């Protein structure tokens, strides 16, 4: 199974995202599917809401028969979708199909470079935290391996009202927390209320802003009412931040929740966590409600999960080589390259959405609206292929737009309209704009030297990258001044708008996750740290969130990306692969999970080879 995970952008997964035609109307299909507890795409909410018109765009995303309920989708729909999701597997299949024999038991060992600060989903933003959280907790809905299809989680089905404002989730019965408490709708309500509560001070609260009310009329029904349609709701509920908590347990644990005390309904129970050393998890034997992405709905095949914290790259890689750990979810590029010839180890190039970019501050005189030629020249002057080849050992693709190409909604024409590496063009543009090279090779105009400070978080890779930027800039007569700042200090300085150009990386699983944060004018001074304000873009961002059809949704996002690129203030550099090292002869059934760049998800299909 692990062999299939190397590259996920092949049409297998993309096809499942695309609208398809069937005899059913969009709405009726979706409702049937939802009732049947079957996966629906991210846009399920918007699709469900539109009745009456004939455009049929929905996608089951999973085998309709898996739920075993009476309603079933039209035959055409089933046959088409069954193979579309062959990657993620069908829940109805028997456990050992495809992969040969599955060995039960054993301990699966991860080597992480860092550990979570906390496992309280409402206190964290770190990728590693969501990774551990989703092994212990479940979410109301699940986001499947394609990062776009929404499947059942703790909710077996849900319905969305015609206006898209009311979500009614039917929760699974018989689900238990590790502590033995039964899971009810009251816990789900408590979780969302707590997430939104100011006192919780959740750093991810804004992700589900706009929920007007949360009701739990009975033990298995959860009703969310929104202020406005929100196509991002479900994917956020399915993220690590949406992990469902046990109300009584959390209230009793108080400030210790997430570190000393944790309870969830997930496939693994936290057994022991020695900070900075390792954490161990044991299998939750009662777990049978795994997401449909897995062949095995639970309990997990392995008895135990150990997360070793090994901050030093070399040590971590030695551990992988010597078999001390089975999986390293964050391989340094150079080490990954070395291990490619190792027969025991497979390097998975995971396509978690992530974009490294140079952001220009339009509030700075030298880059403001009168100086667009400088911005364009900078974009033509930077040699991104060199960064990818030399610094990242080829483990990235050159970026042409903000959204990673393997995320649905990425602008397909980005490359054709992009800023190719062309120093001659950059020089020509600067010449035309009247910037003349001075005696030391740096251009000047009206006594102003063309010096641009680059604000960069201090670390080794960035330092090397900065070296390349400097020489690229010098090549066209621009002086790049490197301002390296420690991570703890840089955010406040960027929020204060000190920077002229900044270097940053942004993980994202949907277009909204990067475009809304960065380009909404209300998000100034941060996270919109570019002084970018465009009423039309603001409107498109809101429209996309509330779009009722996929065409509208895509059109809005394409428009935004096109406008951002045309304005030439945000230069996408590259989309890095997340490199996961796996001991392929020791384990099987591992699949890369790209949501929020976690790398792994619930590990239900993973087993040790005997």
Partner 1 sequence: MGAYILRRLLMTIPVLLGASIIVFMIVHIAPGDPAEMVAGPTAPREVVENIREQLGLNRPLPVQYLTYMQNVVQGDLGRSLVSRRSVNTEIRNTFLNTLELVLVAQVWSTLVAIPLGVIAAVKRNTIWDKLSMAGALFGISFPIFFIGLIAIWLFGAKLGWLPISGRGGPLWTIDGWKHIILPAFTLGYFQVAALARVVRSSMLEVLRRDYVRTARAKGLADRVVVYRHALKNALLPAMTVMGLQFGFMLGGAVVTETIFSWPGMGRMIVGAINYRDFPMVQGPILVLTGAFVLINLIVDVSYGLIDPRVRLS
Summarize as ranges the residues that interact with partner 1 (CB under 8 A).
Answer: 117-118, 120, 123, 125-126, 198-199, 201-206, 255-256, 258-260, 274-278, 308-312, 314-316, 318-319, 321-322, 324, 486-489, 491-493, 495, 504, 506, 517, 522-523, 525-527
Q: Are 138 and 148 in contact (CB under 8 A)?
A: no
Angle at 513 between CA 508 and CA 514, to 5 degrees: 75
Alpha-carbon distance of 598 to 105, in angstroms, equals 24
Cβ closest to partner 1, residue 197 vs residue 464: 197
Q: Provide, rounded to whole angstroms, the least separation between the CB of residue 23 and partner 1.
A: 42
Indicate the helix (H) or strand (E) that contains 13.
Answer: helix 11-15
Least CB distance to partner 1 at residue 413 (A)? 27
CB of 602 to partner 1, least distance (A): 24
* Helix spans in 39-168 (H): 44-49, 75-84, 127-136
**What is the three-class DSSP state of 180?**
coil
Min CB(559)–partner 1 separation in Å:
22
The nearer residue to partner 1, 3 or 254, going by C-beta atoms, is: 254
- Whole-number minimum distance, CB 21 to partner 1, in Å? 37
Give the nearest distance from C-beta 453 to partner 1 in angstroms: 16
- 608's enclosing H/E stretch is strand 607-608
d(CA 121, CA 125): 8
Q: What is the CA radius of gyration of the chain?
A: 25
Q: What span, in angstroms and rounded, lies between the C-alpha atoms of 379 and 32?
A: 49
Q: How far is the CB of 233 from partner 1 (least distance, A)?
A: 17
Q: Are 590 and 600 in contact (CB under 8 A)?
A: yes
Nearer to partner 1, 374 or 504 (CB): 504
251/256 with CB nearer partner 1: 256
Q: Name residues whose C-beta falls within 8 Å of residue 276's C-beta, 6 or more positions apart in sequence.
A: 115, 309
Nearer to partner 1, 319 or 346 (CB): 319
By beta-carbon proximity to partner 1, the closer residue of 175 and 208 is: 208
Q: Is the Cβ–Cβ distance between 229 and 49 less than 8 Å?
A: yes
Cβ proximity to partner 1: between 258 and 292 the closer is 258
With CA atoms as reference, report the closest residue to 178 among 285, 302, 301, 304: 285
Cα–Cα dist 610/607, whole Å: 9
Longest dimension (CA), the chain: 81
* Shortest distance, position 311 Cβ to partner 1, whole Å: 5
**For residues 233 and 374, which CB has a smaller minimum distance to partner 1 in the complex?**
233
**CB proximity list for 108: less than 8 A, separation 6 or greater:** 302, 304, 305, 306, 326, 327, 587, 603, 606, 608
In the complex, minimum distance from the CB of residue 416 to partner 1, in angstroms, rounded to a whole number: 29
CA distance 138 to 284: 12
Instruction: Choose between 120 and 131: whose C-beta lies nearer to partner 1.
Output: 120
């Amino acid at each position: 199974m692990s062999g299939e995970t190397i590259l996920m952008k092949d049409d297998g997964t993309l096809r499942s995202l695309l609208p398809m035609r069937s005899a059913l109307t969009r709405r009726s299909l979706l409702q049937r599917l939802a009732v049947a507890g079957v996966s629906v795409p991210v846009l399920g909410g918007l699709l469900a809401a539109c009745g009456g018109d004939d455009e049929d765009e929905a996608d089951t995303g999973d085998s309709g028969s898996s739920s075993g309920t009476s309603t079933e989708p039209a035959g055409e729909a089933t046959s088409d979708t069954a193979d579309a999701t062959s990657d993620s597997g069908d829940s109805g299949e028997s456990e050992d199909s495809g992969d040969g024999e599955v060995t039960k038991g054993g301990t699966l060992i991860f080597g992480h470079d860092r550990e979570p600060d906390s496992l309280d989903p409402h206190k964290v933003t770190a990728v590693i935290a969501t990774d551990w959280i989703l092994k212990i907790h479940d979410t109301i809905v699940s986001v499947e391996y394609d990062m776009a299809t929404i499947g059942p989680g703790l909710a077996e089905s849900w319905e969305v009202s015609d206006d898209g404002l009311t979500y009614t989730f039917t929760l699974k019965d018989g689900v238990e927390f590790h502590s033995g408490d039964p899971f009810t709708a009251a816990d789900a309500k408590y979780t969302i209320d707590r997430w939104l509560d100011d006192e919780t001070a959740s750093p991810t609260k804004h992700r589900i802003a706009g929920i007007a009310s949360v009701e739990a009329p009975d033990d298995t029904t959860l009703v969310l009412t929104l202020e406005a349609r929100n196509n991002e709701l479900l994917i956020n509920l399915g993220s690590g931040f949406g992990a469902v908590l046990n109300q009584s347990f959390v209230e009793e644990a108080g400030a210790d929740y997430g570190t000393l005390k944790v309870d969830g309904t997930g496939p693994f129970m936290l057994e022991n966590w020695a900070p900075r050393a390792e954490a161990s998890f044991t299998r939750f034997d009662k777990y049978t409600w795994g997401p449909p992405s897995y062949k095995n709905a639970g309990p997990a095949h392995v008895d135990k999960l150990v997360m070793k914290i090994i901050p030093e790259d070399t040590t971590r890689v030695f551990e992988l080589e010597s078999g001390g750990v089975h999986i390293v979810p964050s391989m340094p590029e150079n080490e990954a390259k070395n291990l490619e010839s190792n027969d025991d180890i497979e390097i998975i190039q995971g396509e978690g959405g992530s974009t490294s970019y140079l952001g220009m501050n339009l509030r700075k005189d030298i880059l403001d609206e009168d100086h667009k030629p400088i911005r364009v020249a900078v974009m033509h002057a930077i040699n991104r292929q060199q960064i990818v080849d030399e610094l990242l050992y080829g483990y990235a693709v050159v970026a042409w737009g903000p959204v990673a190409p393997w995320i649905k909604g990425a602008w397909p024409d980005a490359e054709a309209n992009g800023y190719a590496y062309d120093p001659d063009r950059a020089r020509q543009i600067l010449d035309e704009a009247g910037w003349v090279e001075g005696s030391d090779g740096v251009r000047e105009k009206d006594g102003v030297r063309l010096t641009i400070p680059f604000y960069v978080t201090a670390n080794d890779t960035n330092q090397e990258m900065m070296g390349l930027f400097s020489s690229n800039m010098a090549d066209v007569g621009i002086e790049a001044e490197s301002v390296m700042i420690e991570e703890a200090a840089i955010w406040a300085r960027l929020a204060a708008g000190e920077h002229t150009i900044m270097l940053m990386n942004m993980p994202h699983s949907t277009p909204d996750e990067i475009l809304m944060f960065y380009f909404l004018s209300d998000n100034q001074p941060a996270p919109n740290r570019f002084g970018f304000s465009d009423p039309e873009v603001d409107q498109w961002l809101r429209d996309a969130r509330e779009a009722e059809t996929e065409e509208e949704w895509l059109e809005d996002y394409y428009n935004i990306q096109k406008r951002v690129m045309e304005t030439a203030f945000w230069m996408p550099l590259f989309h890095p692969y997340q490199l996961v090292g796996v001991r392929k002869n020791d384990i099987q059934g591992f699949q890369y999970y790209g949501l929020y760049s976690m790398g792994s998800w619930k590990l239900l299909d993973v087993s040790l080879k005997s």
